[in-house]
Every structure is written in structure tokens, then in C-alpha cells.
């Protein structure tokens, strides 16, 4: 066996534990695109080149299907916007879009800020804070209020507990179809199904109560979806409503919390960056309005740079339903074309010092959609992208306005990203010391 082949075999063994490193090493060995043979499926052709991203995002929609096996399907269900295709995807997207834009989205700003200050207030000066755990607590509490519309503290705790248990019940092993079978009550699939049943029962009871009481005057997303109608006047089915609400929970929790944690971590490892953000925040006072925070240029750049350095969704993929040529490779039905966001965001032809934290790069110029894609691209770009960015800016701006933090491990290298639930997250806790309120 040749030396290159041995290196390739050893590298493949690391893929489940270090997908970003695996793709970087494969590209160094074989160039771009990287071609991976997926057992039981077609070829996976992966690019990190901007022109490859442009090619995929502008590709023929009629030839694209949801990539399968899909790691999130066991958690989200077949009626999720992420899983449906064709005309159904277009109709569903049009129905779900209004709560995530404009006035509707900004209506959640005060909820986000109130939750953030409440969670920060639970920490004592001088204690270490795992900023990923803090971000998860904030985003989970925002979900309970903004999506489900639950204000009562006892019911809110039940929703938060069921949501946390649901997410904890998912393991990356379920990305592989072989692990989705159950033997009685044993195994990860059986555990996830129990957690899904618990979550869905709680949410179904809330839906029934909301329908009985009426939704007049309510701004939460559940109430908006209960009144939403397709073009033909029909309402969303009960099962599809559950799948979509579950999708919003998953997409709005782990992803935003992880990006927020990386932003807090890098910001406080770079004293100049933290000072610059505090200077930008200072004119807004100690209680800045959420919309004022969301409009701050440097705060926005910090968030964008964190998502560039550490994209939480590792790949944007399209499965082919018919032959198509992608990056010079002739694909057939069943093959999958994909953009690896980590390769794209670290491409040295686009980004100077691609592994350095430099928010200014987003002030100096605006990247094009095929160079920077933390929310995917093309016709399936994340529908909650605007909400996720808005929430991240409000939370980060509120935390930095209200408290002081210092890094506890500045001398240690930045941790690698590893599979964590359905996202890539830090391989060790991102810890800052909370020095107390401003």
C-alpha cells in the first residue's frame, strides 16, 4: 500500500470526530473538489472554492433533492422545511417566512434582552462562566417565549426541560441509518423517540389550549402559524406544525448559542476588540434598545467573523435526481454535491489570515454570498437567518453592555470544532471569568 493511500485511509478514520480537519487534509492530498465514497449511497463531491459555491447555489433546482441519509431527519421529522422538496418546499417556505422578518422579528427584541439580563444576573462576580452553556440557556428561554409564547414560569420550565431533554436525546450516531433501528427500549433511536413523544405531547396540549382560547393580540410564532394559510386557504396539518416547531427549536437553539459562544470567546481573547466594542456601545448607555444594538457596525462584524471562523453547519448539500456536472465531475442520480463551509470560510484566496479573528474584514468590504455562507445559500438558505443574526447581536451587545468578562485560558490554543448534537461545537468548554456588572 502506497504512502499516500495509507495517509488517506488513516485520515478517513478521523472524519466522524474531526470533519473539518478531514476535509482540509483530503483537499491537501487530492485537491478540490474532494470526492468521498459514502457506504450505501452515491458519491459525495465537496468543494470549498467560491466558484464551486456559486455553481451549487445557482444550480438547477429541479435536479436537487434533500441529501439523504439526513442527520437531522430523526429529530425534525419528514414534514420539516429542511426535509421537504419541490413545490411543497416553496409553499411551506412562503407560509413560514413572515414571523422572521421586519416588525414581527423586531417584536422579539425586548424578550431576547430581558432573558439575557436575567441569565447573566444568575452569575456571581469572580466565577467562571461556560459561555456555551450561558448561550444555550438564553436561546432556550427565548424559544419558550418567542416561539411557544409561554410566559408562565412553571409552564416555561416544563417547556425548557422538555426541549433540553429532546436535544440531549439526539446523538450524531443517528446520522447513520443503521443506528436508527430499535431493540425494545434500548439504543439511541429508542431514547430519542421517547423524548420526541414527551415534547410533542406537551406542545400538542399547548396548541389545543391556544386554539380554544384564541390567538387575538398574540405575537408568538406558534399563534402566527395557527392563523397562517396556504394560497388555497388551507391550514398546516397538526403533524407538519409539530415538525416545523421542532425545526425552529433545533435551528434556533444550538446553532445560535454556539455562534454566540465563539463570538464571546474570541472577543475577550482579543483585548483590543473587546475595548473597541465597549467604545461602540458606550453612547447607548447601560440599557441600549435592542434595535440600536442590532444596527451597530462593529458588533455586527464581530458576530459575522465568529460565524466565518466557526460555521456551525459543516456542509450545504444537494442530492442529484438526474445527471449533472459539478466542479468538472460528472454526477449521476443519487450522488451529492456539497459546499464545505469551513473550507469556504478559510479559503486563503478570499480571506487574508483566514484563521485569525479579524472583525474589521466585514467593515472593509461585504463578502459575496458564494464566499460567506453561514446560513447556506440558494433556494434553501436558512429561513431563520435574519432572526438568528438579530438574536445573536442583541444577546452579545447586551452581555457586553451589562457585564465585564476576562478569559481564563488565553494561553491555550483555540479549541477545534467537533460534532455536537446536530452542529459543530467547541471540543472543550469556552470559559470566561465574569468580573461583575458594569
Region 128-132: mean pLDDT is 97
pLDDT of residue 12: 56
**How far lies 402's CA from each of 110, 126, 131, 275, 279, in Å?**
15, 15, 15, 14, 13
pLDDT of residue 14: 59
- Rounded to two decimals, the pTM is 0.91
Question: Quick check: 412 pLDDT over 70?
Answer: yes
In this prediction, residue 183 has a pLDDT band, given cuts at 50, 70 and 90, of low
Region 103-130: mean pLDDT is 92
Determine the Cα–Cα distance for residues 101 and 98; give it in Å rounded to an integer. 6
Q: Is the peptide bond between 371 and the residue preceding it cis, with omega within 30 degrees of 0?
A: no
Q: Is 303 annotated as a binding residue?
A: no
Please, which residues bridge with residue 130 across strands?
431
Instruction: Report the half-sphere exposure of 129 (CA within 13 A, side-chain side).
Output: 29
Question: Quick check: 336 pLDDT over 60?
Answer: yes
Q: How far is CA 36 from the centre of its chain?
A: 24
Q: How many CB atoms lie within 10 A of CB 73?
A: 18
Instruction: Mark out the alpha helices in 60-187 (DSSP H runs).
Output: 73-76, 86-96, 102-106, 109-120, 131-142, 153-168
Q: Where are the beta strands (DSSP E) in 282-355?
A: 315-320, 324-326, 329-331, 336-340
SS3 category, 45: strand
Region 368-378: mean pLDDT is 95
In this prediction, residue 1 has a pLDDT band, given cuts at 50, 70 and 90, of very low
Pairing of strands 431-437, 403-407: antiparallel
Measured over all CA atoms, what is the biggest interatomic distance in the chain, rounded to whole angstroms? 70
pLDDT of residue 157: 87
Please, which residues bridge with residue 424 across strands?
419
Question: Quick check: 133 pLDDT over 80?
Answer: yes
With CA atoms as reference, report the closest residue to 349 among 367, 364, 337, 362. 367
Question: Quick check: 244 pLDDT over 70?
Answer: yes
Q: How many CB atoms lie within 10 A of CB 68?
A: 14
Mean pLDDT over the full length of the chain = 88
Determine the Cα–Cα distance for residues 301 and 185; give it in Å rounded to an integer. 47
377: left (phi over 0), alpha (psi -120 to 50) or beta: beta
Tens digits of per-residue pLDDT, 25-52? 999 989 999 999 877 678 999 999 999 9
pLDDT of residue 16: 65
Region 274-292: mean pLDDT is 94
pLDDT of residue 10: 43
Please give the share of the chain, as a percent, with pLDDT higher than 70.
92
Determine the Cα–Cα distance for residues 301 and 414; give it in Å rounded to an integer. 20
Region 98-116: mean pLDDT is 86
Question: Quick check: 180 pLDDT over 80?
Answer: no
Q: For residue 168, what are the contacts with CB-CB under 8 A and spacing of at least 6?
A: 195
> What is the distance between the terminal CA atoms of the chain, rounded to a whole angstrom?
62
- Going along the chain from its start, the domains and CATH numbers come out as 32-437 (1.10.630.10)
49 compared with 180, residue with greater pLDDT? 49
Question: Quick check: 121 pLDDT over 50?
Answer: yes
**How far lies 416's CA from each of 17, 135, 356, 368, 425, in Å?**
10, 19, 14, 26, 8
Q: How many CB atoms lie within 10 A of CB 124?
A: 9
In this prediction, residue 182 has a pLDDT band, given cuts at 50, 70 and 90, of low
Q: How many CB atoms lie within 10 A of CB 118?
A: 12
Residue whose grid cell is 485560558 = 409
Question: Quick check: 186 pLDDT over 80?
Answer: no
Task: Point out the least confidently predicted range of 227-231, 324-328, 390-394.
Answer: 227-231
**What is the 8-class DSSP label of residue 424?**
E
Question: Quick check: 8 pLDDT over 70?
Answer: no
In this prediction, residue 113 has a pLDDT band, given cuts at 50, 70 and 90, of very high
Amino acid at each position: 500500500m502506497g504512502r499516500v493511500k495509507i495517509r488517506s485511509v488513516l485520515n478517513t478514520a478521523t472524519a466522524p470526530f474531526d470533519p473539518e480537519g478531514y476535509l482540509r487534509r483530503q483537499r491537501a492530498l487530492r485537491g478540490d473538489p474532494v470526492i468521498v465514497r459514502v457506504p450505501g449511497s452515491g458519491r459525495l463531491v465537496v468543494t470549498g472554492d467560491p466558484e464551486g459555491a456559486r455553481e451549487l447555489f445557482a444550480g438547477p433546482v429541479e435536479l436537487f433533492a434533500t441529501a439523504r441519509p439526513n442527520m437531522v431527519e430523526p429529530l425534525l421529522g419528514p414534514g420539516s422545511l429542511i426535509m421537504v422538496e419541490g413545490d411543497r418546499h416553496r409553499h411551506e417556505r412562503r407560509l413560514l417566512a413572515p414571523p422572521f422578518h421586519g416588525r414581527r422579528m423586531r417584536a422579539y427584541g425586548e424578550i431576547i434582552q430581558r432573558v439575557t439580563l436575567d441569565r447573566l444576573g444568575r452569575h456571581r462576580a469572580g466565577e467562571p462562566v461556560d459561555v456555551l452553556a450561558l448561550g444555550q440557556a438564553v436561546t432556550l428561554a427565548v424559544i419558550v417565549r418567542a416561539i411557544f409564547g409561554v410566559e408562565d414560569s412553571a409552564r416555561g420550565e416544563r417547556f425548557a426541560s422538555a426541549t433540553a431533554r429532546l436535544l440531549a436525546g439526539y446523538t450524531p450516531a443517528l446520522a447513520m441509518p443503521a443506528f436508527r433501528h430499535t431493540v425494545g427500549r434500548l439504543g439511541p433511536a429508542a431514547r430519542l423517540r421517547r423524548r420526541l413523544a414527551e415534547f410533542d405531547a406537551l406542545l400538542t396540549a399547548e396548541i389545543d389550549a391556544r386554539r380554544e382560547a384564541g390567538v387575538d393580540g398574540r405575537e408568538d410564532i406558534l399563534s402566527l402559524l395557527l392563523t397562517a394559510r396556504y394560497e388555497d386557504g388551507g391550514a398546516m396539518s397538526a403533524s407538519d406544525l409539530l415538525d416545523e416547531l421542532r425545526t425552529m427549536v433545533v435551528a434556533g437553539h444550538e446553532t445560535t448559542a454556539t455562534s454566540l459562544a465563539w463570538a464571546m470567546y474570541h472577543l475577550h481573547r482579543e483585548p483590543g476588540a473587546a475595548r473597541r466594542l465597549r467604545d461602540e456601545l458606550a453612547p447607548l448607555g447601560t440599557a441600549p434598545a435592542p434595535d440600536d444594538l442590532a444596527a451597530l457596525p462593529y458588533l455586527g462584524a464581530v458576530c459575522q467573523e465568529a460565524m466565518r471562523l466557526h460555521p456551525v453547519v459543516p456542509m450545504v448539500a444537494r442530492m442529484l435526481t438526474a445527471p449533472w456536472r459539478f466542479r468538472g465531475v460528472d454526477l449521476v442520480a443519487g450522488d451529492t454535491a456539497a459546499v464545505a463551509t469551513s473550507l469556504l470560510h478559510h479559503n486563503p484566496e478570499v480571506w487574508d489570515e483566514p484563521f485569525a479573528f479579524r472583525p474589521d474584514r466585514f467593515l472593509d468590504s461585504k463578502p459575496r454570498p458564494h464566499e460567506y455562507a453561514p446560513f447556506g445559500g440558494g433556494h434553501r438558505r436558512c429561513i431563520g437567518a435574519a432572526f438568528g443574526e438579530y438574536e445573536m447581536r442583541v444577546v452579545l451587545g447586551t452581555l457586553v453592555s451589562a457585564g465585564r468578562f476576562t478569559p481564563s485560558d488565553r494561553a491555550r490554543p483555540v479549541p477545534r470544532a467537533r460534532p455536537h448534537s446536530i452542529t459543530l461545537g467547541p471540543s472543550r468548554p469556552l470559559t470566561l471569568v465574569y468580573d461583575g456588572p458594569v
